[in-house]
Every structure is written in C-alpha cells, then in structure tokens.
Structure 1
Amino acid sequence: MSRRRTLQTALVTAVGAALAACARPAGERAAPVASARGWRMPDETHPHELTYMAWPTRRNWGADTSGVRNDIAGIARAVARFEPVVLLADERDAKAAAKACGSGVEVLPVPVDDLWMRDTGPSFVLPSDGSKGIAGVDLNFNGWGNKQPHTHDAHVAREILADGEIRRIKAPIVGEGGSIEVDGQGTLMATESSWVNDNRNPGKSRDDIERALKDLFGVTTVIWVKGVKGQDITDYHIDALARFSEPGVVVMSTPDAEAPRDVWTDAYDQARGVLDRAVDARGERLEVVELPEPVDIGRRGADFLASYVNYYVVNGGVVLPRFGDARADRDAVAIVRELYPGRQVVQVPVDTLGEGGGGIHCATQQLPEER
C-alpha cells in the first residue's frame, strides 16, 4: 500500500481511534527496524510522493503563534501547488490547521510539539540497487542536544513510519535532518558543530559519526565544515549554509561584504575554504555559487535566519523565502532560477518563522517516490 493511500485512510479514522493508536506502547506500533546497509538518500530534486509538515503549537510559540501559523500555512499552500502535503497537528488544532492551509493540505492528527519537520521527521532512503522500496532513518531527535523538551516530537519519525507502513532504520547516532545535505551521488555535507557534539553524541569521534552517516545514507564521501557550537539552538545546521543544487554544484548563503565580523562570518569563511578545495564522491572539484543574504530587512532578533539557502525543492518548483529586501529578494529568485532551470520559483514571507531561527527547509520533509 502506498504511503499516500495509507495517510488518507488514517485521516478518515475516528479521532478516538487515532488517539488510542498514539497511546499504545511504542513497540507495538513501530515498523520493523531495518539494517542501514543497502540504502541511499536521494537528493531533493528526486520526485516526491508528498511533503510532510507540522503545525506549531501555542505552548511553544506563545504570543507569536498567530504569526508563525500564518507562515506555515503560506508555505503549505505554496508546496501544495506542486505536490500533496500532509501536515501533522495536535488533535485540538487539526480543524484550525485545515482551515488555514486549505483543501490542498491533508491534516493528520498526531501530537506534536513544534513545526520543525526536517529535524523531527524521518530522513527517507531508497534501495541502493535501484529496486522498489523505501525506508526512513530515525535520527533519535533529542531537542537539539536537550536544549528544549520535545516529548511528542521525539516520536514523530516513528509515528510517520508506522502510519505509512514504512520500515524504520534506527540510527546509532543522534542528529537532525537539517544537519545533512546530500547530492544523491554519494556525497554528504555536514557541520561538525551539530554532530561532533557531546549534547548529541557523547564519546563519539568524528570518524565514528562519519562511518554511521555513510552506512545510513549510502554515501562514500563526507565533507565536513566546522560550523558554530552554542550560538543557535541547532548548533548551526548545514541547510542554512550550503546546499547541493546538483552534483558538483554547491550554493552557499553568503554574507554581505560589509557585514561585521562575527562567529557567522568566520564560519562562512572556514566553510568556503573547505568547499573550494573539496572533492566529491565522483572525484570532481565543487563549483560554489554565492547566494547573497538580505541586508535591508529592518530590525530583527538575534536568532533571525536570513538565509535564502533554506529553500525547499518541490516537484516542478522551488519554494523560496522572501525577506522584504526588494533587491536581494529579486536577485535570489534570479539565482535560484538559474540553479534549477525549468522549475517555477515561488517566494513566501517567513518573518515570524525566521525569528524562531528557522526557515522553509526546516519546516518540510519530502517523501521520495519509489523507483
């Protein structure tokens, strides 16, 4: 049974049955744990069956709840123009979420703490031999190193995989989907700060983690950049810094030349140096494309994520943030169109979401089509 049909069936199940299912012991609902070997993670341009998202809760966003829900609804509607969207929401929020997102978005009543589906949801992999099949890697989300309690979000990956009857691969390491970026051809990029960190993987070396990443995602080359520890809740995810637009091409979120020197500009310089010298799994040097960050965006909080690179590739399109810097917004669209020829680029505002330290990619997770 396809994941889409399974999810639609779940949506018409009585709320009481859904809640009872969620209350069962985890061992009764989890799909069988599969070996990590024999799987590979496709790049984001691989066709999607659907996109998963989650609805923000008032307990986590407080006075900003209305604003961030508007942002998430806008992203969901934009993605739904290109492919189906399944949005997880607390049962008490499900009706309001469905109304805000419109008929193109299916709402699945599953308890969540927050909206960060890229990190809480499974990272999907396909058989490396090209055969039919799919599995989901559960990276054991722990609230970005126990910085926040996420009682429900710690189980989101398992809930999605059990609901979709998708086999589950329980990772031997702790991390988040936003902390990896793959080219689909054997290369993975990651920041050391979000992986080689005692708040997630105490006692594990970079080599230990690299071996696990290679096994989990079917890659042969891991490109590490240093990142920044302790300055944001994620310890600096790669998907806010650098992305593969295609094998051999990396697009980087690039600070303004006159930006003040700080830990972020230093992290960019270090990462740029690494990527300028790096060789991918094919033995080829990388081409680095700059995607300038916006400058004229008014007063923003210290955690505001002003990164166009945190876009999301959908079937036939790219959903890109709009920050209100007219020139930078326009330039970002032009650059992304060149990077993804033939795809429609749609910009959406993410003002409140950005204040929470995240963006469009952070709020989405693709379910790839089986091939």
Structure 2
Amino acid sequence: MGRISTAVGAFSAVFLMTLTSCSQPAQDGSKLDGHYENATANKLNSLAGTFRAVAEYEPSQGVIISLPLIETYNKTDFAAAIVNSDVDTLWITVPSTFTGNVQTSAVFAGLRQALGSKISKVKLVRQQTPGSLTVWARDWSPQSSVNANGEIGLIDFNYYPNRDADDFTAQSMERLLDFDRVSVPVYNEGGNFMNTTAGHCLMTTRVTDANMYADQQDDMILDAEGVKHFYQIGAGCSEVTIFPRMPYEGTGHIDMWAKFLNDDTVIVSELRDEVLNLYSNTYVNKARTVQTYLNTRAREIAAMGYKVIRMPTPGPVFVANDTNGMFRSYTNSLTVNGSVIIPRYTTPAYAQHGDRNGQYFDAAFTTKYEREVTQIYQSIGYKPTWITTDDLIGNGGAVHCTTMQIAR
C-alpha cells in the first residue's frame, strides 16, 4: 500500500470518478453515498490491484460529450477542436428519446459543416435510461483504466441518484466498446480527480463530504477509511492526497485550480495582487482568502517533489446574496493527445457577473494572461486551442467539466 497524504491529516486511499456536475454540487452534508450499479462486490474484489486509472495526458482514442453542449450551448467549435486533436471518435450522449442521427439531424448541421469528412468520427450514444442529460460529462462519464496487459477498462463511480440518464453512461459505453466495467460504490465527480501514471491521486474534501450519509436504500455509509479502501481497490492509486476544498467555490472540484500536465508537472492557479487590488472592500477579504488558499496548495504540491507552475487566474466574481463566487479558471482545460483546449472568458454571459459596462471587472488583464497561459502550455509541449466558455463558466464549469476521454 502506498503513502496517502492529506492537507488536514493522513489518510490512505485511492481514486475517484463520477457524481454531480461541474456546475453546483451539494455542499457539506450532501446525502450521497455509494452503491453497486448493475454489478457486484465480487467483480471489484476479484480485479483489485490489477488495474489503475489512466492519467488525462496519456493517449486517448476518443472523448465523450453530451448533446446539451451542442444543442444548448452551441459549442460546435469546441466539438470540432476535440475531433481535430487526433482522436478516433467523438462520442455524444443523447437522451433515450432522441431519434435523429449525425448525418441528417438539424442540431448537428453546424458540426457537419465544421468537420466535413471528419464527421464520420462522431458517434451518438443513446442512453437506455429515460431522463434528460446534463452537460457535465467529466463528472458522470466512466474513468478509463488500464491493466498490466495494456487492456483498457472502465471505472464506474456513482453519480447523483436523480440523474439516472447521466449515470448510465458507463454502462452504455461498456456495451458499445465491449470493455470490462467495474462499479465502485463511492460518490465523487470526475472534476474532483487528477492522477499520475505512478498512481498519485489528488482530490479535495468534496469526496469526503459526499459520502457521509445514505441517500437511497442500498447506499453504503462510508467514513474516510471506507472511501480510502475503495479508492485503493477501485482505481489502483498508490498515493492519495485530499486537500481542503477551495473556499467560496461551489463545485469543490480540484480541476478548478490545478492540473497535472505530465507525471512531474502541476499547474496551480495564481490569484495575483494586481487583480486583488481591484476588489471593493465588500469582497476583498473573500478574494484574499482564495489567494491564500491557492498559494498554500502550490507550496504543498511543490513539497511533494513536483514542478509547480503558477497559472494566472482571473478573479472570482462575487455577487450580493450568494456565498459562492463565479470562478474562471485556465486549469479547467482538456489535454488530449498533445493538444490542449483552453477556456476563454471574454464577456459575461449573465449580467450579475459583469461590471456597469457589462465587462469582467479585471478585463484589462485578459490579453496578458492568455498570452502567459499559452506559453505555459506550449512549454510542456501542448498545442493550444482557445474556446469561448462564458456561458458554461456562468453555470459553474468550462472545458474540462464537459469532456471525458476514453484511453487508447
């Protein structure tokens, strides 16, 4: 068993995957705990120690998104950028009631125009369970695994009980790809997980918040040791670090402020004084608390032996009568096959997030920050593409939150 660390105490745990959305998951005391999904404990136990979760920067055969990314958010350019990142397939989950197809449905007209002959790479995954779909594919899609023989499998963690159609995605992909699927009876979202090929897994206390109570009859009530046990056997992590969740940020997800770029390098958001100086007296203390949090996490990760690169971040937008802020993040990117798709924030999609001129309060720094972010990703060898995501981030997520890779 590997060493498990936490910024609050010492655990000994291992991995994570699906649950809420990158939008606004439940806060402390959320009543979500694990159960096996069309599977048994015997299968998980029989495979324990034979596989590990695949890191995001390892080769990908494809990426999963959902229909709302195209239909509701009109992110045709985003989907096209994924297809152009050397993947074999872009899978789009659609509701069980969807009767169209990629070649003729009007909702995909823009994508057909953008991709031309590459539209053949787009495949629909029709869910077998009734219900609407959310856009947050990172959180409810299966996490890829790999065993010693190089065989790819699927890790299926629990998602919200009231989002059955989303939560069924792992079973849909199991049938489509004929991969082994392992159900792990723990609730956690894919946005709250990052890992290395060596088995170091990082997340926040969102995972422990989510497994304190039972929500449905067959849920397990898991304490920290129980969660640790399932991470060990369910994702092959040899070392797990559980950080406190970021203050005033609603998702609790680690992908809102950090990201592995390879086995040795971690980017961590940096809220700089030049942005802090723009806050009014009403919100400056909140912003300063966030700055301290990020600086502390960066020091802790560097002390683990990683190269830490500080990524400039726009300031959280705080509004009256809302405890949490709106966090724009350049770490909420998708790295796939040597490319990186980065969220761009230009003009607030919602009036409450803009100043009196309808702009972000720190817009003066946008060009400089984008230039620096581009240089950071390029320095590690990634080819960057920028995608405007103001509407997505206004709902709590961006690029990483809406995508999930399937390993090659």
- What is the TM-score with the length of structure 2 in the denominator? 0.69
Q: In the aligned structure 1, how far is the partner of 2:167 from the partner of 2:212?
A: 13
Higher relative contact order, structure no. (Cα contacts within 8 Å, ≥ 6 residues apart): 2
Q: In the aligned structure 2, how far is the partner of 1:361 from the partner of 1:290?
A: 18
Secondary structure of 2:201's partner? strand
Secondary structure of 2:158's partner? coil
| Corresponding residue of 1:89 | 94
User: 1:216-259 CA deviation, whole Å, 9 max, x = no partner?
Assistant: 22111111110048852x3x111111111122321012223243
| Corresponding residue of 2:17 | none
Cα contact 1:51–1:364 (8 A) shared by 2: yes
Q: In the aligned structure 1, how far is the partner of 2:200 from the partner of 2:244?
A: 17
Does residue 185 of the first structure (1) align with residue 208 of the second (2)?
no
Structure 2 counterparts to residues 211-250 of structure 1, below 5 A: 211-228=229-246, 232=250, 234=251, 236-250=252-266
Q: In the aligned structure 2, how far is the partner of 1:205 from the partner of 1:288?
A: 31
For structure 1, which runs of at least 5 residues remain unmatched after alignment? 1-25, 58-64, 144-148
Q: In the aligned structure 1, how far is the partner of 2:228 from the partner of 2:179?
A: 25
Share of identical aligned residues, percent? 19
Among candidates 117, 126, 136, match of residue 109 of structure 1 = 126
| Corresponding residue of 2:8 | none
Secondary structure of 2:68's partner? coil
Among candidates 153, 167, 178, match of residue 135 of structure 1 = 153
Deviation at 1:263, TM superposition (A): 5.6
Q: In the aligned structure 2, how far is the partner of 1:215 from the partner of 1:100?
A: 43
Does residue 69 of the first structure (1) align with residue 73 of the second (2)?
yes
For structure 2, which runs of at least 5 residues remain unmatched after alignment? 1-36, 113-118, 215-220, 277-282, 347-365
| Corresponding residue of 2:267 | 251
Cα contact 2:247–2:289 (8 A) shared by 1: no
Which residue type is aligned with residue 59 of structure 2? P
Q: In the aligned structure 2, how far is the partner of 1:101 from the partner of 1:80?
A: 10
Which residue type is aligned with residue 101 of structure 1? L
Which residue type is aligned with residue 361 of structure 1? H
Structure 2 counterparts to residues 251-330 of structure 1, below 5 A: 251-257=267-273, 258-259=275-276, 260-261=283-284, 266=289, 269-270=292-293, 272-278=295-301, 285-294=305-314, 304-324=326-346, 325-330=366-371
Where does structure 1 differ by over 6 angstroms across 4 or more consecutive aligned residues? none
Structure-2 change in CA distance of 1:239 and 1:295 (3 Å): closer
| Corresponding residue of 1:336 | 377
Structure-2 change in CA distance of 1:37 and 1:267 (3 Å): farther
Which residue type is aligned with residue 195 of structure 1? V
User: 1:28-84 CA deviation, whole Å, 9 max, x = no partner?
Assistant: 9xxx76734311112212111111111118xxxxxxx96x5223x221111111223
Q: In the aligned structure 2, how far is the partner of 1:268 from the partner of 1:295?
A: 9
Which residue type is aligned with residue 276 of structure 1? R
Q: In the aligned structure 2, how far is the partner of 1:264 from the partner of 1:36?
A: 43
Equivalent residues, number: 317
| Corresponding residue of 2:168 | 155
Q: In the aligned structure 2, how far is the partner of 1:186 from the partner of 1:125?
A: 12
Q: In the aligned structure 1, how far is the partner of 2:49 from the partner of 2:200?
A: 16
| Corresponding residue of 2:63 | 51
Does residue 204 of the first structure (1) align with residue 226 of the second (2)?
no
Structure-2 change in CA distance of 1:41 and 1:267 (3 Å): farther
User: 1:146-169 CA deviation, whole Å, 9 max, x = no partner?
Assistant: xxx323112122222222211111
Larger helix percent? 1
